[in-house]
Amino acid sequence: MKAVLARRNPVAKVAAALVFTVALVTTLDPVPPAVAIAIELALAPLFGVGYRALARRAWPLLVAAAGVAVTMVLFAAERTGDTVFQAGPVAVTTSVLGGALGLALRVVAIALPGVLVFASTDPTDLADALVQNVRAPYRFAIGALAAVRLVPLLGQEWQLLRLARRARGVDAGRNPVAAARIFVSTAFGLLVGAIRRGTRLAVAMDARGFDRGGSRSQARTQRFQTADAALIIGALSLAAAVLFAGVAT
């Protein structure tokens, strides 16, 4: 049996995530995103996402947040406040640390709801809900479904390309320049393969009539219920509470 929030309409979950994260864009204060992250982690079990699975899916967010924080510390234009420490020409002040912390937390707080929503949503249900509840074009909805289905193949193709290059004796060893060159060429090959697959898929969709404006029958029904509206209202209330926490502190 699915968790409480995992059973909700996919469009409602996406709308709730957007409502909750838009409020975080309006502030650089570290308190609102910190409170938002605490709320998101508390709601993760209600989406049917365990903390171990969430860590496996969200670790790139931590890397991105750390990169944002380091960039902010190194290249911040305004360095007001007390100096915490001096590293050569870089003076790390309290204002710089506060801004870096706020940006890093905001990156995680904005992206984490998307991780929870898509981890608890079947791509087919999302495509059906987009067509039935939002009246999205069939071509867009089915194209988005195909994209989500094909994303895992990118990792497999990356491994195949690496193994194929290694079988031909193309190996960087410990040379970082050669490793960077191989990485760029492998990424380019992956991009070319993705474009070719997308072109074939687009032609196949056009051949099946997805470019027409007529209506199509639905095999699965996605209903927007009162509980789905309550989820969006709850997300709006939590976003207001997060902003109030920032103002209050």
Nearest-angstrom CA–CA distance, 27 and 30: 8
Confidence (pLDDT) at 13:
93
Phi-psi region of 173 (alpha: psi -120 to 50; beta: other; left: phi over 0): left
Q: Are 117 and 13 in contact (CB under 8 A)?
A: yes
Would the pLDDT of 79 be above 80? no
The amino acid that residue 4 corresponds to is V
**Average pLDDT for the chain:** 84
Per-residue pLDDT tens over the stretch 171-195: 777 778 878 888 888 888 888 888 8
Domain ranges in the chain?
10-121+222-248, 137-207
In this predicted structure, the answer to whether residue 38 has a pLDDT above a threshold of 90 is: yes
Question: Looking at 26-30, 31-35, 73-77, 203-207, which range is the least confident one?
Answer: 73-77
* CA-CA-CA-CA torsion sign (57, 126, 150, 198): negative
Counting residues of the chain whose pLDDT is more than 90, the rounded percentage is 19
pTM: 0.79
